[in-house]
Amino acid sequence: MRGVVMYAPGDVRVEEREDPRIIEPTDAVIRLAATCICGSDLWPYRGIEPVDHTPMGHEYVGVVEEIGSEVKNLKVGDFVVGSFVISDNTCEICQSGFQSKCVHAEFVAATIGTQAEKARIPQADGTLVPTPGQPTPDMIPHLLAASDVLGTGWFAAVAAKAGPGKTVAVVGDGAVGLMAILAAKQLGAERIIAMSRHPERQKLARYYGATDIVEERGEAGIEKIKELTGGLGAHSVVEAVGTQESFMQAVGATRGGGHLGYVGVNYEVSIPGIQMFFAGIHALGGPAPVRRFLPELIQLIWEGKIDPGKVFDLTLPLEEAAEGYKAMDERRATKVLLTL
C-alpha cells in the first residue's frame, strides 16, 4: 500500500509500505476513507522531536476490512472512527474516562502511521466506534476531525470546565484551538475569547462561536484577558499551542480557582513551580481521551449539529502529502485533509 514516511525533518515521502494484517486476535484492519496532517506532525518536521524513517499519521476514518477472531463489536464493512490512542475501553482507567492512559494504551503515531491506504488497529473493540450507517462523502471531513482535533479540542474545553455562565479563553487559533471554541459553544459557555492574530482564523473562530478576539500575546495578552473579565481572569482557559510562552500565557489568564485545560506541550516547556503554585488554578492536561467523546461527537455530526470539518482548508491527494506538510509549516493551511 501507499503511505507517508518522514525520512528526516522536512523530508516527507509517499512510498510503498507493507500491507497491514491482523497480528493479534483483537486487531482490525481498516481501509481509510480519508486521513490528515496534524499540528503535532510539525514537531518532527521542524526537528523539535526526533524522526527517522517514521511512518506518519494518527488520524483516521474508514471501513473495516478484516477483524481478528476476538473482535466482537465490529463487523467487516462497518464505517468507523478511532482515536489517536489505542485503548481497550474496559480497564479501570478507561472506565474512568481516561482512555488515553489505558493499560493497553499505544500511540497510533508511534507504531502504526495512518497517513496510508490501510491501517492495523489494535484493541479494535475498544478503539473503534462505528457510525450509525455509511456516511455521505460530505460527512467524512467532519468524522475525520473527530479522530483527533475535534476530540482534543472538546477534551480541552471539558478540562477547562467550559459551560453556562463561564468565560472561556482559548490560547491558539490552530485546528485544536478552533475546535475548543466549537466545543465551548456547544457546552454552553457564555463568552468565548479567541487569542489570535490571524485574520482568516479569527473569522473561523467567530464562525465557531468566539465572542471576542484578543490579538495580544504574553503578558499583554494576560492583561487584556483581565481587562475583559473585571480584573479576575477567565474562568476557563484552553491552551492549544504548546510552547513555553503560550503555556504561561494560559496560566496567567486563568483566574484563581479557575480551570486550565492543556492538550499539548513541546519538549522545551518547563513550568516554574512557584508561578504555577501562586496561580492557584486547576489544571488538567494530557493526550486527550478522545475515545470518551467519540459516541457523542459522531452523533452530533450525524445530526448535522456541528461542522468541525470546516477546519480543513486544504485538500490534497495522499501522494501530495509533502506539499501538505509544507503548507501547514508555512501556515498557508490550518489543517490538510489527504484523500485516498
Residues near a second copy (CB under 8 A): 92-93, 96-98, 100-101, 103, 230-232, 244, 247, 255-257, 262, 264-274, 276-287, 289
Cα–Cα distance for residue pair 130/184, rounded to 1 Å: 25
Beta bridge partners of 102: none
154 Cβ neighbours under 8 A, 6+ residues apart: 179, 180, 183, 288, 290, 293, 297
Give min distance, CB of 20 to a second copy, in A: 26
Q: Which is nearer to a second copy, 202 or 266 (CB)?
A: 266
Give min distance, CB of 217 to a second copy, in A: 18
126-154 CB burial, b ≥16 within 10 A, e <16: bbbbbbeeebeeebbbbbbbbbbbbbbbb
Give min distance, CB of 257 to a second copy, in A: 3
Q: Which is nearer to a second copy, 58 or 255 (CB)?
A: 255
- Output 203-209 pairs: Cβ under 8 A, ≥24 positions apart: 204/173, 204/178, 204/310, 204/311, 204/334, 205/170, 205/173, 205/177, 205/178, 205/181, 207/310, 208/178, 208/179, 208/181, 208/182, 209/181, 209/182, 209/184, 209/185
Cα–Cα distance for residue pair 337/312, rounded to 1 Å: 6
Give min distance, CB of 315 to a second copy, in A: 31
Decide: 141 and 337 in contact? Cβ < 8 Å: yes
- Cα R_g (the chain), whole angstroms: 19
Cα–Cα distance for residue pair 183/156, rounded to 1 Å: 9
Q: Which is nearer to a second copy, 255 or 335 (CB)?
A: 255
Give min distance, CB of 235 to a second copy, in A: 9
Q: Which is nearer to a second copy, 5 or 102 (CB)?
A: 102
8-state DSSP, 136: P
Cβ–Cβ contacts within 10 Å for residue 190, how many? Answer: 14
Q: Which is nearer to a second copy, 18 or 274 (CB)?
A: 274
Decide: 242 and 175 in contact? Cβ < 8 Å: no
Give min distance, CB of 136 to a second copy, in A: 35
Q: Which is nearer to a second copy, 134 or 275 (CB)?
A: 275
Q: Which is nearer to a second copy, 196 or 229 (CB)?
A: 229
Give min distance, CB of 278 to a second copy, in A: 7
